[in-house]
């Protein structure tokens, strides 16, 4: 645990990815197999199940720090991170510990079936034996949400350094549904056994957002273009008569999409498809909100199955006939994909059509009608590109449509976290319905530091009422709110739900009377909602 806490601190103390990878590789070098495996698990977001409620942790921390609970909550609000707030509030003691990372994780796991008193005794004893840095890491193991400033890609690089095994090979071995409780370092990392896990997906290749002009990409003829569907990225694997479905978050979601079970019969064994999982009716994709209703459930009832019929819109073929195709140019993979879909027609499998174009100008036009086609924009992929690992610049680009915007009045403000705990940084926005303002969106990001200070001062001077950390303010300031999509929602008072709302700019030029109306909002819903 000392080593792991030191690793955590070392990762925090540098911005250089080189040094981070180095620090992690060194940690691997000096740790035992089980600790290594847990470190990998944590860095790939596979933390143990939570066995102690955070409300209890807060109470105990206040008790230990000899402060009232309300004061602990204030401190927590300022820190913005529960594990850290607890680590700081609990007093230092002279006791020490020298147990391994796995020891403490095993302890945390074992608490799951224990009584509250036993949990408390164990946690307090742990806090007393640790210094603040160790305590922080220990709390993180309980509460989750580790951010170590190290992507899975860099973790894999460090592991490659440590084991001498190639990075992409490791990335593959690390995928899938494993836990340090069910496998060993030797089995998972060091053993090469392709057959061992039929479910194993390939690491996803991710696109970068196009930042410059599309014409900067060079010859249009070197590129494929496709619609960018607004579903979830998925990999569907057919091996040995079984179907496995993976989401981009490397989550095995086979059970949630029983529609794809028919692929086992229809497609040849050893087929891996990369595509968009999305509900489609009569060839038209449905709203993202509907898909979310499906994702939210572990088991899917008959009604949902008929109402929200899931399809895979395939855009890449990663494995055919058991062979890894990722090293082939896209042009060849595409030809094989088209052939596969043609020769093995199966309900629920669609081909992502290529957008034909000879000049970039044409593509610009196609992109502009994305929203009407329920798309987020376009994907542009180099014909000669291999299928790579992770987010790589150069061959795959996403070219999203411009966001929807509406001018709205700020009516509530809420305090921020951490160092911003004394500033109002989170806002609720409203549009006019007659003389009334109807709240419809919350947003925080998007302002410059200077603007933020100015808005904060406004809030403090123009408070009408306070409710805990929230204040209602005089409706005066107008902001342009941008968002990616809009849907009808019965859960929201306004009747609409926005996707990714954020502040686009402060409309200092607009008096509040000129903000948009509820009618405008509903118009957007009618035009772009689904």
> Interface with another protein by CB under 8 A: which residues?
12-15, 65, 67-68, 71-72, 74-75, 78-81, 84-85, 88-89, 91, 136, 149, 417-419
CB of 249 to another protein, least distance (A): 24
For 175, other C-beta atoms within 10 Å of its C-beta total 21
Q: Which two structure tokens, joined as six digits, stand for 149?
A: 């400033």
Which residues are bridge partners to 480 per DSSP? 407, 505
CB of 12 to another protein, least distance (A): 7
CB of 51 to another protein, least distance (A): 24
CB of 79 to another protein, least distance (A): 6
Cβ partners under 8 Å of residue 325, min gap 6:
317, 318, 319, 332, 333, 336, 387
d(CA 325, CA 319): 5
Question: Among residues 79 and 310, whose Cβ is nearest to another protein?
Answer: 79
CB of 15 to another protein, least distance (A): 6
CB of 22 to another protein, least distance (A): 12
Contact at 8 Å (CB) between 64 and 124? Answer: yes
Q: Could you please report the per-residue DSSP string of 177-192?
A: S--TTT--HIIIII--
CB of 132 to another protein, least distance (A): 9
Question: Among residues 140 and 173, whose Cβ is nearest to another protein?
Answer: 140
Question: Among residues 79 and 123, whose Cβ is nearest to another protein?
Answer: 79
Question: Among residues 79 and 272, whose Cβ is nearest to another protein?
Answer: 79
Question: Among residues 143 and 179, whose Cβ is nearest to another protein?
Answer: 143
For 397, other C-beta atoms within 10 Å of its C-beta total 21
Question: Among residues 25 and 67, whose Cβ is nearest to another protein?
Answer: 67
Angle at CA 337, nearest 5°, toward 286 and 222?
A: 95
Q: Which two structure tokens, joined as six digits, stand for 53?
A: 């409620």
Which residues are bridge partners to 224 per DSSP? 381
Question: Among residues 50 and 417, whose Cβ is nearest to another protein?
Answer: 417
**Number of alpha helices (DSSP H) and beta strands (DSSP E) in the chain:** 19, 22
Question: Among residues 85 and 272, whose Cβ is nearest to another protein?
Answer: 85
Question: Among residues 13 and 96, whose Cβ is nearest to another protein?
Answer: 13
Question: Among residues 39 and 79, whose Cβ is nearest to another protein?
Answer: 79
Pairing of strands 390-391, 205-206: parallel
CB of 468 to another protein, least distance (A): 13
For 16, other C-beta atoms within 10 Å of its C-beta total 9
Kindly report the length of the chain: 530
| CA-based max dimension of the chain | 73
Question: Among residues 132 and 300, whose Cβ is nearest to another protein?
Answer: 132
Q: Which two structure tokens, joined as six digits, stand for 337?
A: 């994909």
Name the packing angle between helices 33-43 and 2-12 (round to 10°): 40
Contact at 8 Å (CB) between 316 and 274? Answer: yes
For 420, other C-beta atoms within 10 Å of its C-beta total 16
d(CA 415, CA 470): 7
DSSP-based helix, strand, coil % in the chain, nearest 5: 45, 25, 35
Q: Could you please report the per-residue DSSP string of 43-63?
A: HTT-PPPP-S-HHHHHHHHHH
CB of 157 to another protein, least distance (A): 21
Question: Among residues 136 and 257, whose Cβ is nearest to another protein?
Answer: 136
CB of 23 to another protein, least distance (A): 13
Question: Among residues 140 and 330, whose Cβ is nearest to another protein?
Answer: 140
Taking only Cα atoms into account, the Rg of the chain, rounded to an integer number of angstroms, comes to 26
CB of 110 to another protein, least distance (A): 28
d(CA 272, CA 236): 6
CB of 423 to another protein, least distance (A): 12
CB of 217 to another protein, least distance (A): 32
Smallest CA-to-CA distance from 174 within 151, 206, 149, 144 is with 151
């Amino acid at each position: 645990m000392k080593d792991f806490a030191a690793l955590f601190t070392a990762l925090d103390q540098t911005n250089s990815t080189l040094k981070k990878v180095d620090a992690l590789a060194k940690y691997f070098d000096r740790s035992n197999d089980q600790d290594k495996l847990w470190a990998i698990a944590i860095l790939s977001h596979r933390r143990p199940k939570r066995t102690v409620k955070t409300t209890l942790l807060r109470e105990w921390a206040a008790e230990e720090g000899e402060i009232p609970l309300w004061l602990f909550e204030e401190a927590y609000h300022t820190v913005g991170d529960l594990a850290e707030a607890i680590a700081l509030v609990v007093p230092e003691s002279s006791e020490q510990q020298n147990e391994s990372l796995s020891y403490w994780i095993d302890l945390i796991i074992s608490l799951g079936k224990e009584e509250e008193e036993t949990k408390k005794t164990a946690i307090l004893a742990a806090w007393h034996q640790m210094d603040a840095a160790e305590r922080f890491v220990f709390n993180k193991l309980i509460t989750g949400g580790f951010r170590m400033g190290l992507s899975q890609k860099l973790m894999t690089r460090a592991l490659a350094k440590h084991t001498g095994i190639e990075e992409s090979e490791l990335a593959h071995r690390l995928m899938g549904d494993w836990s340090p409780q069910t496998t060993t370092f030797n089995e998972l990392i060091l053993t090469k056994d392709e057959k061992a896990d039929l479910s194993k997906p390939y690491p996803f290749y991710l696109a970068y957002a196009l930042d410059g002009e599309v014409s900067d990409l060079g010859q249009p003829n070197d590129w494929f273009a496709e619609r960018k569907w607004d579903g979830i990225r998925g990999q569907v694997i057919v091996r040995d008569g079984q179907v496995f479905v993976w989401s981009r978050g490397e989550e095995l979601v086979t059970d949630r999409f029983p529609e794809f079970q028919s692929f086992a019969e229809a497609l040849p064994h050893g087929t891996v498809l990369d595509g968009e999982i999305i509900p489609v009716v009569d060839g038209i994709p449905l709203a993202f909100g509907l898909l979310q209703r499906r994702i939210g459930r572990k088991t899917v009832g008959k009604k949902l199955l008929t109402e929200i019929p899931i399809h895979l819109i395939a855009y890449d073929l990663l494995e055919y006939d058991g062979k890894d195709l990722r090293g082939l140019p896209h042009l060849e993979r595409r030809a094989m994909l088209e052939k596969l879909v043609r020769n093995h027609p199966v309900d629920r499998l669609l081909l992502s059509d290529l957008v034909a174009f000879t000049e970039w100008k044409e593509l610009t036009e196609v992109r502009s009608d994305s929203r009407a086609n329920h798309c987020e924009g376009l994907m542009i992929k180099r014909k000669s590109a291999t299928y790579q690992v992770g987010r790589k610049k150069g061959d795959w680009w996403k070219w999203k449509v411009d966001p929807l915007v509406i001018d709205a009045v700020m009516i509530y403000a809420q305090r921020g976290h951490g160092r911003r705990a004394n500033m109002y940084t989170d806002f609720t926005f409203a549009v006019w319905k007659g003389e009334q303002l109807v709240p419809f969106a919350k947003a925080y990001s998007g302002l410059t530091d200077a603007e933020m200070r100015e808005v904060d001062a406004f809030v403090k001077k123009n408070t009408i009422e306070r409710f805990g950390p929230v204040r209602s303010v005089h409706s005066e300031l107008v902001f342009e709110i941008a968002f990616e999509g809009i849907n009808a929602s019965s859960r929201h008072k306004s009747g609409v739900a926005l996707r990714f709302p954020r502040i686009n700019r402060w409309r200092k030029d607009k008096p509040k009377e000129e903000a948009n109306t509820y009618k405008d909002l509903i118009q957007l819903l009618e035009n772009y909602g689904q």
